[in-house]
Chain A
């Protein structure tokens, strides 16, 4: 019985391929990509539905909540990025919505895409491009390079190592948290099939998932702000 559980756990941990596109020798489309498409469709439909009739003068309840959320995001990004916050807010909001929904969708029984290390790697790569792209975009080539020698030139090797470490840590943190939670939940379901998993699911799926979303977006914003801002 334990052996069979181990087998099932290992198979559950692997990333299953949903289907294969039969071109270029077969491109595998993983489960996580399919779930991502579902999330995308959900988000697009929701935003279409919620922003259907926005009114400047008399906002309804839904619009007020929506505006509050967007304002929260804008304020958060502005306080961390300073003057150039505007182009970053939608991207960070998109990432937050995507990771949040990905972490929460485990409740519905779907495989969370963030359990796939390739997805978190893609997210981390995008974050890295954002962080260092912004650093060079707003400081120029020379200024961007100079940022690596701050706060003192002695830290140059550490700053250069951070270019690789930051996205790796972002990727691994998100992946490890979700995978760990997933494994613990599988074990709990194996040991006590009723009630207890539901209670722990609140912590591992809801709380931890949202915390990891906040951490990912927060760290990305913080690193980006570090690269952009003039002082220190």
Chain B
């Protein structure tokens, strides 16, 4: 069980990647909006898509952690 908890903790580390990715994306999107405020609609939708995809990895890590904790 202890091993399982450690494994779950490692799985949740995927959140680091997602956080970095979303941070980068948002920063770049802010820059882009500052440079071209008239294109903010398109930038926002692209940002949303990118964030959703980046967040997906974190979610998969989270699901994996749950699987390990409760199923394993």
Contacts and interface: CB of A to CB of B under 8 A. Distances in A.
Direct contact of A and B (CB under 8 A): yes
Interface of A: 10, 13, 169, 172-173, 175-177, 179-180, 214-215, 218-219, 222
Contact of B62 (A169, A180, A218): A180
A179 B62 CA distance: 10
B52 A215 contact: yes
A172 B59 contact: yes
Dominant secondary structure of chain B at its interface with chain A:
helix
Contact of B49 (A13, A169, A177, A218): A218
A176 B49 contact: no
Contacts of A215: 48, 51-52
Given A172-B60, A176-B62, A176-B63, A218 B45 contact: yes
Contacts of A219: 49, 52
A176 B63 CA distance: 7
A222 B62 CA distance: 25
Interface of B: 45, 48-49, 51-53, 55-56, 59-60, 62-63, 66, 70
Contacts of A10: 70
Contact of A177 (B53, B59, B60, B70): B59
A94 to B, nearest CB: 20
B48 A214 contact: yes
A222 B70 contact: no
B70 A169 contact: no
B44 to A, nearest CB: 10
14 contacts: A169-B56, A173-B52, A173-B55, A173-B56, A173-B59, A176-B59, A177-B59, A180-B59, A214-B48, A215-B48, A215-B52, A218-B48, A218-B49, A219-B52
Contacts of B62: 176, 180
B56 to A, nearest CB: 5
Nearest to B57: A169
Contacts of B49: 218-219, 222
Contacts of B56: 169, 172-173
Contacts of A177: 55, 59
Contacts of A172: 56, 59-60, 63
A13 B70 contact: yes
Given A177-B55, A215-B48, A218-B49, 17 more contacts: A13-B70, A169-B53, A169-B56, A172-B56, A172-B59, A172-B63, A173-B55, A173-B56, A175-B63, A176-B63, A179-B66, A180-B59, A214-B48, A218-B48, A218-B52, A219-B49, A222-B49
Contacts of B66: 179
A95 B34 CA distance: 34
Nearest to A212: B52
